[in-house]
């Protein structure tokens, strides 16, 4: 069995558990238990991978619950505080993902466009989980690997090719100009004779 993805049945159990945890958190912090907040939580726990506020907003719009962006923002703040959602602040934008009973994974971050993708590397996971840290008990970890994504690499390649072409054309024009100037001086010399 693939250990990475929770089965459909497990997913439903997890959704019930996070609803319970969220309910307790809202009560103990004197926050209102609105159906919108629970609908957002459920949407997040059905989501695979990372998302940003706009993506979540669009998904909610398609569902039965139409909520404002302010509600989404506010709910995400509460969910981050009660540790049911993990917020990634990378570059200028923020992305989120569910954190309760989430499988550990690693993040590949593009330094050019800011895209974050997930990468599962069991060797690294095992190594970190089995490491005994002196005077420290680990509970979770996050790993970010920075670089350039394939989309940006392709884009950069095209930009570079266009730049080379432009330079070659400019050089070609210069050569023609030089040649013209040279033949003109030759002609004027001839006419002088």
| DSSP 8-state code for residue 85 | E
- In angstroms, what is the minimal distance from the CB of 50 to Zn ion? 5
Task: Write the binding mask 52 to 91 for Zn ion: x where contact by CB under 5 A, - elsewhere.
Answer: ----------------------------------------
Q: How far is the CB of 53 from Zn ion (least distance, A)?
A: 16
Determine which residue in the list 43, 72, 76, 97 makes contact with Zn ion, applying CB under 5 A. 97
CA pair distance 51, 6, nearest whole angstrom: 19
- Characterize 149-184 residue by residue with b for buried, 16 or more Cβ atoms within 10 angstroms of its Cβ, and e for exposed: beebeeeeeeeeeeeeeeeeeeeeeeeeeeeeeeee
Query: How many Cβ atoms are within 10 Å of 56's Cβ, its own excluded?
Result: 21
Mark 135-154 with x for binding to Zn ion (rule: CB under 5 A) and - for no binding: --------------x--x--
Stretch that binds Zn ion, among 108-116, 125-133, 165-173, 177-185 (CB under 5 A): 108-116
Q: What is the CA radius of gyration of the chain?
A: 29
Min dist. Cβ of residue 12 to Zn ion (A): 22
Binding site for Zn ion (CB under 5 A): 97, 110, 112-113, 115, 118, 149, 152
């Amino acid at each position: 069995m693939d250990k990475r993805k929770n089965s459909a049945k497990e997913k439903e159990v997890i959704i019930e558990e996070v609803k319970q945890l969220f309910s307790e958190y809202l009560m103990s912090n004197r926050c209102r238990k609105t159906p919108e907040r629970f609908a957002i939580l459920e949407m997040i726990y059905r989501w695979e991978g990372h998302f940003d506020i706009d993506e979540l907003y669009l998904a909610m719009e398609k569902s039965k619950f139409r909520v404002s962006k302010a509600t989404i923002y506010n709910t995400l703040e509460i969910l981050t505080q009660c540790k049911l959602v993990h917020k990634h602040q990378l570059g200028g934008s923020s992305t989120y993902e569910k954190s309760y009973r989430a499988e550990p994974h690693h993040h590949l971050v593009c330094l050019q466009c800011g895209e974050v993708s997930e990468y599962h590397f069991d060797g690294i996971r095992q190594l970190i989980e089995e490491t005994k840290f002196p005077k420290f008990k680990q509970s979770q970890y996050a790993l970010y690997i920075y670089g350039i994504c394939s989309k940006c690499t392709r884009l950069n390649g095209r930009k570079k090719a266009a730049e080379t072409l432009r330079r070659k054309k400019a050089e070609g024009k210069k050569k023609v100009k030089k040649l013209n100037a040279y033949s003109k001086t030759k002609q004027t010399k001839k006419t002088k004779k």
